[in-house]
């Protein structure tokens, strides 16, 4: 879970930069690598907002903050997760995040024909977070099933 915590912090940093760049508080001129890579065109263009005034970067920032909060609570306050809902919620947030990533990559490659390096980095982070959380969800259930099978096979061992 520590890896998810660190990755979400990196995502928060990237998304914060992208929000500031969208509102022209910081420049991303250094991101212009060639005709195919320009953060300013992608992050400031007509497809950069979900709704007027609400950039995709804010949605990404909110997603990374949610993942950070849940993974922080799971890691440092596990007693708050007595019902085991934090990991499924993390899985939900990361799945939704990756759905947005697929849509935004389509917009970048098929519509705008340009790539935002910082956007791509935040997309990669969300995909890795999903992979880790999905593995965690599977491994947790797998371990529980093994423990239940061991108790069923040898009921005296649990007493």
Domain CATH for 74: 1.20.1440.130
Look up the pTM and report it. Answer: 0.85
Q: Which residues contact 132 (CB under 8 A, 6 or more apart)?
A: 3, 4, 7
Helix or strand or coil: residue 49?
A: strand
User: Residue 55: which H helix or E strand, with range?
Assistant: strand 54-55
Q: 28 phi and psi, to 5 degrees?
A: -125, 35
Task: Give CA–CA dist 153/73, Å, rounded.
Answer: 35
How many folded domains does the chain comprise?
1
Residue range(s) defining the domain that contains residue 107 = 2-158
> pLDDT of the chain along its 159 residues, tens only?
899 999 999 999 999 999 999 999 999 888 888 888 988 889 999 999 999 999 999 999 999 999 999 999 999 999 999 898 999 999 999 999 999 999 999 999 999 999 999 999 999 999 999 999 999 888 876 565 565 556 566 656 555
- Identify the DSSP state of 155: G
């Amino acid at each position: 879970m520590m890896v998810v915590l660190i990755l979400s912090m990196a995502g928060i940093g990237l998304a914060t930069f992208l929000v500031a760049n969208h509102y022209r508080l910081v420049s991303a001129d250094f991101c212009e690598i060639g005709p195919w890579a320009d953060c300013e065109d992608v992050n400031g263009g007509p497809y950069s907002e979900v709704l007027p005034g609400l950039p995709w970067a804010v949605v990404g920032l909110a997603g990374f903050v949610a993942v950070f909060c849940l993974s922080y609570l799971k890691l440092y306050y596990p007693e708050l997760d007595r019902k085991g809902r934090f990991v499924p919620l993390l899985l939900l947030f990361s799945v939704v995040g990756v759905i947005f990533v697929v849509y935004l990559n389509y917009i970048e490659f098929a519509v705008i024909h340009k790539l935002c390096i910082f956007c791509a980095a935040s997309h990669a982070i969300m995909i890795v977070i999903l992979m880790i959380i999905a593995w965690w969800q599977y491994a947790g259930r797998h371990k529980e099933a093994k423990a239940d099978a061991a108790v069923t096979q040898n009921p005296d061992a649990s007493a």
